[in-house]
Amino acid sequence: MTVSPFFPPDFLWGVASAAHQVEGNNVNSDTWLLEHLPGTIFAEPSGDAVDHYHRYREDIAMIAGLGFTSYRFSLEWARIEPEEGHFSVAELDHYRRMLEACRDHGLTPVVTFHHFTSPRWLLAMGGWEGPRTAELFARYCDRVMTHLGDLIGVACTLNEPNLPWLLESFGIGGEAPENRVSVPMWAAAAERLGVDASTVAPFQFCSTEAGFAVKLAAHRAATAAIKAHRPGLQVGWTLANSDIQSIEGGRELADRVRRDVNERFLEASRGDDFVGIQTYGRTVYGPDGHAPAPEGVEVNQMGEEIYPQALEATIREAHRIAGIPVMVTENGLATEDDAQRVAYLQVAVDGVAACLADGIDVRGYIAWTAFDNFEWIFGYRPKFGLIAVDRGTQERTPKESAHWLGGFAREHALSHVTQPA
Ligand code: BGC
Instruction: Give pLDDT tens digits for 355-407.
Output: 999 999 999 999 999 999 999 999 999 999 999 999 999 999 999 999 999 99
Could you give the 3-state DSSP secondary structure of residue 238? strand
Nearest CA owner, ligand 1 atom 7? 240
| Confidence check: pLDDT of 253 > 50 | yes
How far apart are the C-alpha atoms of 21 and 355, rounded to whole Å? Answer: 31
Helices marked H in 287-337: 310-322
User: Which are the contacts of 410, defined by CB distance < 8 A and separation ≥ 6?
Assistant: 67
Going from the N-terminus, what domains does the chain have, and what CATH number goes with each? 12-412 (3.20.20.80)
Q: Is 187 exposed, middle or buried (0-12, 13-18, 19+ CB in 10 A)?
A: middle
Q: Identify the active-site residue in 129, 160, 168, 375.
A: 160
Average pLDDT over residues 58-65: 98
Q: What is the pLDDT of residue 404?
A: 98
Q: From the CA of 257, how far away is ligand 1's center (Å)?
A: 19
What confidence tier does 418 reach under pLDDT thresholds 50, 70, 90?
Answer: low
Q: In this predicted model, what pLDDT tens digit does every residue of 324-356 receive, in sequence order?
A: 999 999 999 999 999 999 999 999 999 999 999
pLDDT digits (tens, 9 = 90+) for 298-332: 999 999 999 999 999 999 999 999 999 999 999 99
Contacts of 251 (CB under 8 A, 6+ apart): 285
> Does the Cβ of 175 fall within 6 Å of ligand 1?
no
Confidence of residue 414 (pLDDT cuts 50, 70, 90): confident
Q: What does the chain come to in residues?
A: 421
In this structure, the residue with its CA closest to atom 10 of ligand 1 is 375
Interval between CA 417 and ligand 1 midpoint (Å) = 34
| pLDDT recorded at residue 126 | 98
The H-or-E segment that residue 326 falls in is strand 326-331
Whole-number Å distance between alpha carbons of 78 and 75: 9
Burial class (CB in 10 A: 0-12, 13-18, 19+), 296: exposed
How far apart, in whole angstroms, are the C-alpha atoms of residue 134 and residue 186?
A: 22
Please check whether residue 302 is in contact with residue 378, taking contact to mean a CB–CB distance below 8 angstroms.
Answer: yes
Q: Cα(first)–Cα(last) distance of the chain, in Å? A: 28
Q: What is the mean pLDDT of residues 27-47?
A: 98
Say if residue 193's pLDDT is above 70. Answer: yes
Give the pLDDT of residue 1: 63
Backbone angles phi, psi at 326, to 5 degrees: -120, 140
Q: Contact, 251 vs 304, CB < 8 A?
A: no
pLDDT in tens, 116-172: 999 999 999 999 999 999 999 999 999 999 999 999 999 999 999 999 999 999 989
List alpha helices for 44-162, DSSP H.
52-65, 77-80, 89-104, 120-124, 133-148
Question: Could you give the CA distance from residue 336 to residue 334 in angstroms, rounded to a whole number?
Answer: 7
Minimal-distance CA residue to ligand 1 atom 12: 375
CB 107 within 8 A of CB 14: yes
- Which pLDDT does position 113 carry in this prediction? 99
pLDDT value of residue 5: 84
Residue 160: active-site member: yes
Q: How confident is the model at residue 419 (pLDDT cuts 50, 70, 90)?
A: very low
pLDDT at 421: 45
Mean pLDDT of 252-271: 98
- C-alpha of residue 386 to centroid of ligand 1, in Å: 14
Q: Give the mean model confidence (pLDDT) for residues 10-28.
A: 98
Cα–Cα distance measured from residue 256 to residue 188, given in angstroms and rounded to the nearest whole number: 32
Residue 420 has pLDDT above 70, yes or no: no
Specify the pairing of strand 362-368 against strand 12-16. parallel
Q: Record the pTM.
A: 0.98
CA distance 50 to 116: 18
